[in-house]
Amino acid sequence: MIAVYPGSFDPITYGHLDIINRAVNFVDTLVVAILNNPAKKSLFTVDERKRHIQILTKDIPNIKVESFSGLLVDFAKENNANIVIRGLRALTDFEYEFQMALTNRELNKEIETIFIPTTLNNLFISSSIVKEIAEFKGDISKMVPNIIEEELKFRYGSK
């Protein structure tokens, strides 16, 4: 079973890594798919985000890190994947995630979405909150791995 784990990953957080580490236990291959969307302002380039994820998942044998543009279902098909993995945090994620899952299924009936509930510790972590805290020099050490923390500090000029 090949599964795709799509997202913006700008930057990757402990929340994402938790989902990755759990998903690789029940799929044959997990393709982490970074959305390349020039219309969406991002802090890190797609290549930087790809490098972050590659470094942080280097010990996982059944993982691939790719970027994609266009429709997720088309990327999944090109990679012979019929599963989409998404993490779920609080109830506030649900409506958006449900809409995406139903849309993707409408676009391709062969693709199923599997939701993985977050680990309690990661309930309040999101890439946008991490960036906001980093911008104002707050402590993000419990939200992102050290290399991401360092890169964020560098970006926001506290080094």
155 catalytic? Reply is no
What is the smallest separation between the CB atom of 159 and ligand PNS, expressed in angstroms? 27
40 catalytic? Reply is yes
What is the smallest separation between the CB atom of 111 and ligand PNS, expressed in angstroms? 11
* Measured CA angle at 16 (ends 15, 22), to 5 deg: 95
Beta carbon nearer to ligand PNS, 59 or 73: 73
Least Cα distance to 111 among 123, 119, 127, 100 occurs for: 100
Q: Tell me the C-alpha to C-alpha distance, in Å, between residue 90 and each of 20, 84, 127, 131.
A: 18, 19, 15, 20
What is the smallest separation between the CB atom of 7 and ligand PNS, expressed in angstroms? 3
52 catalytic? Reply is no
Token reading at 42 = 């991002």
Beta carbon nearer to ligand PNS, 59 or 100: 100
Q: Which residues bind ligand PNS (CB under 6 A)?
A: 6-8, 35, 71-72, 100, 103-104
- Cα 97 from chain centre: 13
67 catalytic? Reply is no
Q: Which residue out of 64, 77, 89, 155 is catalytically annotated?
A: 89
Least Cα distance to 19 among 8, 30, 10 occurs for: 30
**What is the radius of gyration, based on Cα positions, of the chain?**
15
Q: Which residue out of 42, 50, 86, 127 is catalytically annotated?
A: 127
Beta carbon nearer to ligand PNS, 19 or 134: 19
